[in-house]
Amino acid sequence: MNDLSPTCPVPTAVGDPCITLAHGEGGRLMRQLLREHVMPVLGNEYLLALEDAALLPPCDGPLAMTTDSFVVSPLFFPGGDIGSLAVFGTVNDLAVSGADPRWLSLGLIIEEGLPIATLQKILQSLAEAARRCDVQVVTGDTKVVPRGAADGLFINTAGVGVQVGPAAPGPAALKPGDQLLVTGPIGCHGMAVMVRREALQFETAPTSDSAPLRNAIGALRQAEIPYRAMRDATRGGVAAVLQEWAEASQTTLMVSEAKVPVTPEVRGACELLGIDPLHVANEGTMVLAVPPEFTEPALRVLHGVGETSRAVRIGEVTAGTLAGIVVRRATGQEVPLDEPLGAPLPRIC
Amino acid sequence: MRYVDEYRQPELCQRLIAEIRQLATRSWTIMEVCGGQTHGLLRHGIDVALEGVVELIHGPGCPVCVTPLEAIDLAIDLARRPDVVLTSFGDMLRVPGSHESLLQVRATGGNVKIVYSPLDAVEYAASCPDQQVVFFAVGFETTTPATAVAVQQAGQLGLENFSLLVAHVRVLPAMEMLAASPGNTVQGFLGAGHVCTVAGYQCYQEFAQKYQLPVVVSGFEPADLLSGILECVRQLEQGEATVCNRYQRAALAAGNRQAEAIVDDVYEICDRSWRGLGNIPQGGLQLRGRWERFDARKRFALPELRQVESSPCPSGQVLAGKMKPRECEHFATTCTPESPLGAPMVSAEGACAAYYRYAKNAGDGACAQPIS
């Protein structure tokens, strides 16, 4: 038998440090988490005040406000992560609404057991994205839920922006002859996430298009392009946006399949899984409708901005028929396109 | 994109359409057997392009549509058990059983997991030894080799927590039943290309001879489908009834012998009840005796269910090609993808869902007609 140890056993950390329920309970651990991991990357005069609400300066125009929750799994995917996504998603919602994004709130719902290093990496990405978009995180909240009650990390961001210039007339103003543009290859985000989540093996995996659109929208505004409607084509993809526009304007939107830009990786994955890229989510690609005479000027402006340098015309607005969207397939046939019920489920063969 | 773009070339497709129109001296009724083909035809508007010369009837080749009600009810029973994880192909989840679908079961706490391959289910079982992992093995000859390999792999790994709920079906007996039925109007068949890549097409010789019906093995891209239809129309115009392969890049006469050997090792032919069509002699596959330890029905002592369709859905007539989805009084009124009355409205490959998606409003070229 060994001699008894004269010292008291001390608890030692096993493995990587993780978020525990205590990190969300308002005590020392929570303050330590904020001090060591949140403030150094996100801190600014409003956030560092640690008040219950951020007191913001007066603005020179009407305010626009939006909110979005991010529950993407996996947290990291080719082309982005939940942190940058939580900034770009909300900033894009403000930008396409004609607002200049200024401030964000940040709500973190963390599943117990998330490695602190993972959280740190995500917060750094989030901070970098905020810098890129020139927005500040001015208030926040952190909750920790027991293992199994969330999927690693959920993020909610609300955004406030200042309306600049007159708001776009919106989809109800679409007229036959208007041209439909997309600002880059479609379906990249949805397929990047699905391929990574389901661990599908492809030689070249799709990369998310997650990116801010405010520069492109700013450039369009500066060039005084009178767009009729503009929307980032997130969940439901380009088809969901067009469906809403067709309903709002009682027109039929005619899209040429051959003109819709799709990268070879996304196309390969979609063909294999039996999914139409028009239905797949984007996170940095928008659809806009412009009067026909502004098609070329709008494309020239978009081509001059990095994020939208691959913008193309994909179709046009026509007089209303029974179908909201009609796709001219590669074969030349014109076929109505319906919206899917929910997330597309891969076909079995 | 190779193997896709060259079969979607507009000039090629338009030329084939023109050739078919030129060749046909009357309207011919052709059935495409496979749900994937139904989708291709409607997605690319081929049915409308050939209106007047070819009437396309959508056959019973949507695997999830013909999976019998009792198999879905058994799958739901399994998914509700605390120690079981039911794994399945994605589009099986929305198909209604007697009372609910697997999607509803999952939403209310059942263990249902979508996998992309039965081999993923084996891998999952190996990683979770404390849980019973059941794979819902549905589908035609296209999916049977993969589920058969899954069983063999589970055998090699000595897994005691993996099993299959088998509801596999075979194409040829269903075609025989349709061809022999008294009201049959089908004059030619497009053979299911992917089924033939596995099972070959020699097996159709006797069928074509016996029923005097041409069988043209076809692929899924628009030019594949049009080329198959063209050959079928040519044979019908000439009064021929032979088996012809128009999917040469994938299908061989003898099929894939290695895959066939694996299927034969694991499965044996049995009679099977098809949803909407009833019992089809030799219409299914079941695990051979030496693999019965992987049979979920035996492992969980599942009861022999005999479910009766209570739904007003005339899916049998749709699957047999005797009714077009739009002719059904429930189509797009009381039966929609949101609340389907029957399986063909559920699956992406189901004829009704395909019609709803692509041709709901398109009767008589309506998509070119202004509303007012």
Q: Cβ contact (<8 Å) for A349 and B143?
A: yes
Identify the residue with better confidence: A205 or B135: B135
DSSP letter at A36 equals I
Hey, which residues 250-269 in chain B have their CB within 8 Å of chain A?
none
pLDDT at A5: 55
The pLDDT value given to residue B360: 58
> How far lies B228's CA from each of B11, B13, B215, B247, in Å?
17, 12, 9, 8
How confident is residue B367, by pLDDT bands cut at 50, 70 and 90?
very low
The CB density around residue A117, as the number of other CB atoms within 10 Å, is: 12
Q: List chain A pLDDT tens, one digit each, 349 residues.
A: 455 555 665 555 556 789 999 898 888 888 899 999 999 999 899 988 878 899 999 998 999 999 999 999 999 999 999 999 999 999 999 999 999 999 999 999 999 999 999 999 999 999 999 999 999 999 999 999 999 999 999 999 999 999 987 778 899 999 999 999 999 999 999 999 999 988 888 888 999 999 999 999 999 999 999 999 999 999 999 999 999 999 999 999 999 999 999 999 999 999 888 889 999 999 999 999 999 999 999 999 999 999 999 999 999 999 987 788 999 987 888 888 876 666 666 555 4
Q: Which residues of A touch B358 (CB under 8 A)?
A: 335-338
pLDDT, position B319 = 78
CATH level 3 topology of B68-168+256-299: Rossmann fold (3.40.50)
Q: What is the mean pLDDT of residues B305-321?
A: 78
The full set of domain ranges for chain B reads 5-61+171-245, 68-168+256-299
> Residues of chain B with pLDDT > 70: what percent?
95
Q: Which residue of A has its CA nearest to B36?
A: A349
Q: What angle do CA A187, A189, A190 make, to 5 degrees?
A: 70
| Residue A129 parent element (H or E) | helix A116-133
Determine contact: B107 vs chain A, CB below 8 A: no
Assess contact for A327 and A270: CB atoms under 8 A: no
Quote the CA–CA distance of A285 and A287 in Å, as a whole number.
7
Q: What is the DSSP letter of B369?
A: S
Give the pLDDT of residue B366: 35
Per DSSP, the three-state class of B27 is coil
pLDDT value of position B195: 93
Same fold, B5-61+171-245 and B68-168+256-299: yes
Give the residue on A whose Cα is nearest the Cα of B336.
Answer: A341
Regarding beta strands B188-192 and A179-182, do their DSSP bridges make them parallel or antiparallel, or are they unpaired? unpaired
Q: Which residues from B are below 8 Å from A323, CB to CB?
A: 360-362, 366-367
In total, chain B counts a number of residues equal to 372
Compare CB distances from A349 to B63, B356, B367 and report the shortest one's residue: B63
CB contact under 8 A, A338 and B114: no
Burial B165-176 (b: 16+ CB within 10 A, else e): bbbbbbbbbbbb
Q: Which residue of A has its CA nearest to B48?
A: A333
Q: Above 60 in pLDDT, residue B5? A: yes
Query: Which helix (H) or strand (E) element contains residue A153?
Result: strand A153-163
Q: Which of B38, B46, B347, B371 to mutate to test the interface with A (most CBs of A within 10 A)?
A: B371
| Residue B276: predicted pLDDT | 81
Model confidence at B371: pLDDT above 60: no
Structural fold of domain A21-163: 60s Ribosomal Protein L30; Chain: A; (3.30.1330)
B90 in reach of chain A (CB within 8 A): yes
Residue of A nearest to B371 (CA): A321
**B-chain residues within 8 Å CB-CB of A322?**
361-362, 366-367, 369, 371
Report pLDDT digits (tens) over B322-338: 888 889 999 989 888 87
Q: Which residues of A touch B325 (CB under 8 A)?
A: none
Is B361 in CB contact (< 8 Å) with chain A?
A: yes
**B142 shares contact with chain A (CB less than 8 Å):** yes
Please check whether the domain covering A171-336 is classified as CATH 3.90.650.10: yes
Cβ contact A330–B44 (<8 Å): yes
Q: What is the pLDDT of residue B368?
A: 34
Please give the pLDDT value at position B361.
55
Q: How far is B182 from chain A (nearest CA, A)?
A: 31
- Give residue limits of the domains in chain A: 21-163, 171-336
* Residue B372 pLDDT: 29
Protein fold of B5-61+171-245: Rossmann fold (3.40.50)
How high is the mean pLDDT of chain B?
Answer: 90
B64 contacts A336? CB cut-off 8 A: no
Strand pairing report for A312-319 and A251-256 = antiparallel
Among B24, B41, B51, CA closest to B365: B51
